Structure 1
Amino acid sequence: MAFYHQSTLSTHLVARWLVLGLIALSVVECRRNLLFESYATYAAINCRKHTAFLTDFGGISDGKTSNTAVFQAAVQNLSQVADDGGAQLIVPPGRWLTGSFNLTSHFTLFIQFGAVILASQDAGEYPLVESLPSYGPGGRFSSLIGGSHLTDVVVTGDNGTIDGQGSVWWKKFNRKKLRNTRPYLIELMYSNQVQISKLILIDSPSWFVHPVYSSDIIIQDLTIRAPVDSSNTNGIIPDSCNNVKIQDVNVVSGDDCVAVKSGWDEYGIKFGVPTEQMIIRRLTCNSPNGSVIALGSEMSGGIKNIRAEDITAINSQSGVRIKTSPGRGAYITDIFVDGMNLQAIDSVFWTTGSYGEHPDLGFDSKALPVVDRINYRNVVAEDVKMAGNMSGIDGNPFTGFCLSNVTIGFGTQQDNRLWNCTGVSGVSSNVKPEPCDVLADKGPSDCEYPPDPVPIDVLELNTCSFSTIG
């Protein structure tokens, strides 16, 4: 097989990569010679010294021939140059059928426009893997694209497609014919410096993008599509992750568009890794069976310092929904939302302390979650059934809610109660219609929104490229 070395105008080290407290790492910025149209460019956390095409390894793009072994061999081969500037594997136009394969460090998977990675519907192409330690025992199928303990990994393209062909899995799940958790589309575990961008993702068997136990993550410029009646097709699920940016993502799915998680009951409590330091920006959502942003329900490692701004949704259950229950323990705190434009929403503000659903009978019902310092400001919603459906836990109230500059209009299916507030407390300012007494008006004032950026939000991507001809 052949490697194609990149030609560059200049290469220099840029101390830009920020890790858990603005620790700078050196990254290489590659600038391409753009004199010829045969060069494609893209933005990435790091550029690569070596380039190969899937066809170099014998890939067949007829949409019928399995390329699982081809993808696996390509990644294994390219992992040998990880310490020599890394490699990028280019998936050219065509329909590339494959089962599960894993990525490697210092590696870019680039899916060109017109290329479709087509997920096999053969369950035998997805080996069973160990359960996630923060969720307890139970078998699960490997994800279509996976990886563990990686550093510096990019999955990107110029609006190439990953098609999960999930319908066969949805039918089996709905008929209760599956004993193991369905494959996710992309799952990266115990990894850092992760980028997933500029792709079209459709019809995942279950969750679409699941970074777990990972840090320093950029997820942006994605289009995610699944039927609105497909089960558990959550869009993006950061799970026990730190320092995350989710930006310019459009989701239509059968469940929550973004679901922030950190483990389940006693297993999540024992594992003890929170999700924190996250910015969600310019998210658009359509999910009548899910929320635009869900916090929980699996949140037993804790969720803290989550920011969301410029959020748009139509036909969804709620703007931001907090889901927890006795047995979860941990906390959901320091949540900041600035700017939501919502249309056809069941409840703009939805909080529940009785979500239930436990992995087994081993949970501790006395492990009560703390919910505090939840801030919403600059919210406009139309065609709403209920302004707020907010409930804590009896004897364990949820505190510190702040609502400011909120205008809500109701549709023809308006609930008889505009607000329902039990076991919660907080303040409000300029909220219409007037909220519950427990969210008393504090006069003209804005709810808090942090002025300092999440560290990952400061990172500037590099301009990388490759020759489109061999």
Structure 2
Amino acid sequence: MEVVWLVVVFLVIIISLNGVECKRVKSRRRALDDEYYYSAISCRAHSASIVDYGGVGDGKTLNTNAFQQAINHLSQYGSDGSQLFVPAGKWLTGTFNLTSHFTLFLHKDAVLLASQDIKSWPVVDPLPSYGHGRDAAGGRYISLIFGTNLTDVVVTGENGTIDGQGAVWWQQFHSKKLKYTRPYLIEIMHSDSIQISNLTFLNSPSWNLHPVYTSNIFMQAITILAPVTSPNTDGINPDSCTNTRLEDIYIVSGDDCVAVKSGWDEYGISYGMPTKHLIIRRLTCISPYSAAIALGSEMSGGIQDVRAEDITAINTESAVRIKTGVGRGGYVKDIYVKGMSLHTMKWVFWITGNYGSHADTHYDPNALPEIKGINYRDIVAENVSMAARLEGISGDTFTGICISNATIGLAKKAKKYPWTCSEVEGVTSGVVPPPCNLLPDKGADKPAACDFPEESLAIDNLELKRCSYMMSYF
């Protein structure tokens, strides 16, 4: 009997110990599972990590093949969708292509480092609406993250970083050693339903984010940083795009913070795809040599219905600049800007009708741009060298310019004449200092506000979903 009891006690102890061990393992597994939540236009049914495809985040191992193999494999899920998680680490990579119904998600401590081996970057043809490279006559280096003919793509994270390591490209550009145009950090072409959000972009070789020939674009909570002396490091360049919404953007760069485009000279005229229905909200810009918002200079396919509000510019050359010239053709019309807070700049308003940069010598000298319906209101500026420089084209007057409720504080060493105007027509209301005679004050007794549309655009009705990714250490 004693032997039986000893056996029973022994079995109970063993079972108890096993039970404790099982509970401990389960508890540990839960602790090592990290679930990440994010907002996106679409959630995905399938997930993977870059480490599943041999990725190594040591900042030295080249992960180009790992990224491309992962994306190629995940593309098999089609419309069910897939997401690729990039965990903490430094992930050196060359260029790779995205796929449809796909999310690229970066951990907050993940850094994508662009390869500095220029020879390893593939070269593609110039864009058809440009017909010519920007840095050189030939083709262009493909962008770090590239996609064409895609639907439903999300590039997002917890404010992870994409670093273009652009110094080597800037040096080659200044030395005039590049045979092709520098790459961008992200370029999406001929696509629909694109989201880029909650990321930091550093040191792009050239432009940072370039959606082109694309519709229904949502960009939010983006930081873009580059030295203010870096060449052509534009922040975001919507180019021949429809229905685009940019919100909560912070940019420090060596060129325009947001540059709206639609093709270059005869190539843009022939391609004929405008940028229209663009929203810019809560943009903060620092760019001592360029504009917070630029329209052009490549605008030959047309730019229409741009709505910008709540814009802050600090130590920026100009607030809004329209850049065009003889040979551009196209149009810039129905532009609405309200609510600008401006601190230290040369010009608040700048319209340039003599911008001379051309793709080649084959442009049509009779192709004159149409500039009309330009509305600015509710503006406060301080420490400004000159209120406005507005220069149309002889025989091609820029019309429908409206400025209202604008108080521009001039710097101690401001220009003698705060306004210069030629070949422009329009009206003002409640503007200080008083504008030029070509923009007479029509609201001295009863100030009237310039237009800003009340109806919302389709992209404003975009609904985001709450998505998640579960990363397990087992």
Pairwise same-fold verdict (TM > 0.5): yes
Q: How does 1:338-349 map to 2 (within 5 A)?
A: 338-349=338-349
AA paired with 1:196? I
1:461 matched to 2:464? yes
Q: 1:36 to 1:469 in 2, by over 3 A?
A: closer
Q: Report the equivalent of 1:451.
A: 454
AA paired with 2:163? D
Q: Report the equivalent of 2:43.
A: 47
- Cα displacement (A) at 1:124: 2.6
- Cα displacement (A) at 1:36: 9.7
Structure 1, unaligned runs of 5 or more: 1-33
User: C-alpha separation between the residues in 2 aligned to 1:391 and 1:35?
Assistant: 64
Runs of 4+ in structure 1 deviating by more than 6 angstroms, as ranges, are 34-37
Deviations 1:267-313 (A, max 9, x none): 00000000000100000000001100000000000000000000001
The structure that is strand-richer by fraction is: 1
Deviations 1:365-406 (A, max 9, x none): 110000000000000000000001001001111000000000
User: C-alpha separation between the residues in 2 aligned to 1:388 and 1:124?
Assistant: 45
AA paired with 2:172? K
User: C-alpha separation between the residues in 2 aligned to 1:263 and 1:87?
Assistant: 34
Q: Report the equivalent of 2:82.
A: 87
AA paired with 2:205? P
Q: Report the equivalent of 2:302.
A: 302
Aligned length: 436
- Cα displacement (A) at 1:43: 0.5
Q: Report the equivalent of 1:437.
A: 437
Q: Report the equivalent of 2:129.
A: 134
Q: Report the equivalent of 1:76.
A: 72
AA paired with 1:146? F
* Structure 2 residue matching 1:439: 3-state secondary structure: coil
Q: Report the equivalent of 1:267.
A: 267
User: C-alpha separation between the residues in 2 aligned to 1:75 and 1:35?
Assistant: 29
CA contact (8 A) 2:428 2:441 kept: yes
User: C-alpha separation between the residues in 2 aligned to 1:425 and 1:242?
Assistant: 29
Q: Report the equivalent of 2:104.
A: 109
* Structure 1 residue matching 2:435: 3-state secondary structure: coil
Q: Report the equivalent of 1:97.
A: 92
- Cα displacement (A) at 1:38: 2.3
Q: How does 1:358-437 map to 2 (within 5 A)?
A: 358-437=358-437
**Identity over aligned pairs, percent:** 58
Q: How does 1:165-180 map to 2 (within 5 A)?
A: 165-180=165-180
User: C-alpha separation between the residues in 1 aligned to 2:319 and 2:438?
Assistant: 21
- Cα displacement (A) at 1:37: 7.1
Deviations 1:235-292 (A, max 9, x none): 0000000000010000000000000000000000000000000100000000001100
Q: Report the equivalent of 1:29.
A: none
CA contact (8 A) 2:32 2:472 kept: no
CA contact (8 A) 2:331 2:369 kept: yes
Deviations 1:74-133 (A, max 9, x none): 1100011123x1100000000000000010000000011100000000013310011100
AA paired with 1:70? A
Q: Report the equivalent of 1:284.
A: 284
Q: How does 1:135-154 map to 2 (within 5 A)?
A: 135-137=130-132, 138-154=138-154
* Structure 2 residue matching 1:254: 3-state secondary structure: coil
Q: Report the equivalent of 2:120.
A: 125
1:209 matched to 2:209? yes
User: C-alpha separation between the residues in 2 aligned to 1:35 and 1:47?
Assistant: 24
User: C-alpha separation between the residues in 2 aligned to 1:194 and 1:110?
Assistant: 14
RMSD over aligned Cα, in angstroms? 1.2
User: C-alpha separation between the residues in 1 aligned to 2:459 and 2:176?
Assistant: 41
AA paired with 2:58? D
- Cα displacement (A) at 1:468: 2.1
CA contact (8 A) 2:86 2:110 kept: yes
Q: Report the equivalent of 2:11.
A: none
* Structure 2 residue matching 1:441: 3-state secondary structure: coil
AA paired with 1:63? G
Deviations 1:433-465 (A, max 9, x none): 010111111111010100011211111211000
User: C-alpha separation between the residues in 2 aligned to 1:193 and 1:327?
Assistant: 33
- Residue 67 (structure 1) aligned to one of 52, 63, 66: 63
Q: Flag the structure with larger Rg.
A: 2
User: C-alpha separation between the residues in 1 aligned to 2:413 and 2:116?
Assistant: 41
User: C-alpha separation between the residues in 1 aligned to 2:425 and 2:345?
Assistant: 23
- Cα displacement (A) at 1:35: 11
User: C-alpha separation between the residues in 2 aligned to 1:209 and 1:82?
Assistant: 25
User: C-alpha separation between the residues in 1 aligned to 2:86 and 2:32?
Assistant: 20
AA paired with 1:136? G
The structure that is helix-richer by fraction is: 2
User: C-alpha separation between the residues in 2 aligned to 1:82 and 1:35?
Assistant: 32
User: C-alpha separation between the residues in 2 aligned to 1:75 and 1:120?
Assistant: 19
TM-score (ref. length: structure 1) = 0.92
User: C-alpha separation between the residues in 1 aligned to 2:31 and 2:459?
Assistant: 33
AA paired with 1:343? H
Deviations 1:190-215 (A, max 9, x none): 00000000001000000000000000
Q: Report the equivalent of 1:3.
A: none
Q: Report the equivalent of 1:17.
A: none
Q: Report the equivalent of 2:196.
A: 196
Q: Report the equivalent of 1:224.
A: 224
